[in-house]
A and B are shown apart, each in its own frame.
Chain A
Amino acid sequence: MIGRELFYLLVFPGLLFTAVVGCLVGVLDRKLSARFQFRVGPPWYQNIVDIFKLFGKETILIRESPTAVYVTAPLVALGSTMLAAAVLGSALFFRVDIGGDLFFFVYLLLLFPVSLILGAFASGNVYAALGAGRESNLLLAYELPFCLSLLIPVVKTGYALRLTEIIARQATGGAVIGSVSGLLGFSVMLLCLQAKMGLVPFDLAEAETELAGGVLIEYSGPLLACWRLARQIQYVVLPLTAVALFLGGFSGPGALAYPVGVLKYLGVVFLMVVLKNTNPRVQGGRMLEFFWKPLSLLAALGVILAVAGV
Chain B
Amino acid sequence: MGWYDRILKRSLWVFHVSASPCNNCDIEILDLLTPAYDVERFGIRLVGSVRHADLLLVTGVVGKKISSRIIRLYEQAPKPLLVAAVGTCPAGGATFKESYTRAGPLDEVLPVDIFIPGCPPKPEAIIAGIIKLAERLT
Q: Tell me the A residues contacting B by CB distance below 8 Å.
A: 30, 34, 37-43, 45-46, 49-50, 52-53, 56-60, 208-209, 211-213, 216-221, 224
Q: 13 more A-B contacts (CB under 8 A) besides A213-B52, A216-B49?
A: A37-B35, A41-B40, A50-B43, A52-B7, A53-B10, A57-B78, A58-B80, A59-B78, A60-B76, A208-B47, A213-B48, A217-B51, A220-B51
In chain A, what residue has the closest Cβ to B38? A39
B54 within 8 A of A: yes
Q: Cβ of B11 and Cβ of A49 under 8 Å apart?
A: yes
Which of B35, B47, B49 has a CB less than 8 Å from the CB of A39? B35
Cα separation A212 to B52 with both chains bound (whole Å): 11
Q: How far is the CA of A211 from the CA of B77 in the complex (A)?
A: 18
Q: Please indicate which of the listed interface residues B10, B35, B54, B80 has the most CB atoms of chain A within 10 Å of its own CB.
A: B10
> Residue among A39, A57, A212 with the most chain B CB within 10 A?
A57
Chain B nearest CB: distance from A227 CB in Å?
A: 11
Q: Bits for B77-104, please: 1 = Cβ < 8 Å to A, else 0.
A: 1111000000000000000000000000
- The answer, yes or no, to whether B66 is at the interface (CB within 8 Å) is no
- The reply to whether A39 and B78 form a contact with Cβ atoms under 8 Å apart is no
Q: When the two chains form their complex, are residues A220 and B54 in contact, meaning their CB atoms are under 8 A apart? A: no
Q: A43-B43, A53-B7, A56-B7 are in contact. Are A218 and B38 (CB under 8 A)?
A: no
Q: A40-B38, A60-B76, A220-B78 are in contact. Are A213 and B49 (CB under 8 A)?
A: yes
Inter-chain CA distance A149–B35, complex, in Å, is 38
Q: Is the CB of B47 within 8 A of A42?
A: no
Name the contact of B8 in the complex, choosing from A53, A209, A213 (C-beta under 8 A): A53
Q: Which of A37, A60, A209 has the most CB of B within 10 A?
A: A60
Distance A58 CA – B79 CA, assembled complex (angstroms): 6
Least Cβ–Cβ distance between A2 and chain B, in angstroms: 35
In the complex, how many angstroms separate the beta carbon of B92 from the nearest chain A beta carbon?
31
- Chain B, interface SS category: loop
Cross-chain pairs A/B with CB under 8 angstroms, 22 sampled: A34-B38, A34-B40, A39-B40, A41-B38, A46-B11, A46-B43, A49-B7, A49-B11, A50-B43, A56-B7, A57-B80, A58-B79, A59-B78, A213-B48, A213-B52, A216-B49, A216-B52, A218-B49, A218-B51, A219-B52, A220-B51, A220-B77
Residues of A with C-beta under 8 A to B78: 57-60, 220-221
Interface assignment of B41: CB less than 8 Å from any CB of chain A:
yes
A184 → chain B closest CB, angstroms: 37
Interface residues of B in 1-32 (CB under 8 A from A): 4, 7-8, 10-11
Q: How far is the CA of A42 from the CA of B80 in the complex (A)?
A: 23
Chain A neighbourhood of B80, CB < 8 A: 56-58
Distance, CA A221 to CA B11, complexed state (A): 13
- Chain B stretch 26-72: residues in CB contact (< 8 A) with chain A: 35, 38, 40-41, 43, 47-49, 51-52, 54
| A42 x B41 contact (CB < 8 A) | yes
**What separation, in Å, do the CA atoms of A111 and B55 have in the docked complex?**
33
Find out whether the CB atom of A42 lies under 8 angstroms from the CB atom of B43: yes
Contact in complex: B41, A49 (CB < 8 Å): no
Q: How far is the CB of B94 from chain A (nearest CB, A)?
A: 29
* Inter-subunit contact A212/B48 (CB<8 Å): yes
**Cα distance A52–B4 in the bound complex, in angstroms:** 9
B4 / chain A contacts, CB cutoff of 8 Å: 56
Which residue on chain B has the smallest CB distance to residue A38?
B35
- Which of A46, A52, A53 has the most chain B CB atoms closer than 10 A to its own CB? A53
Q: Which residue of B lies closest to A210 (CB)?
A: B48
Residue of A nearest to B42 (CB): A42
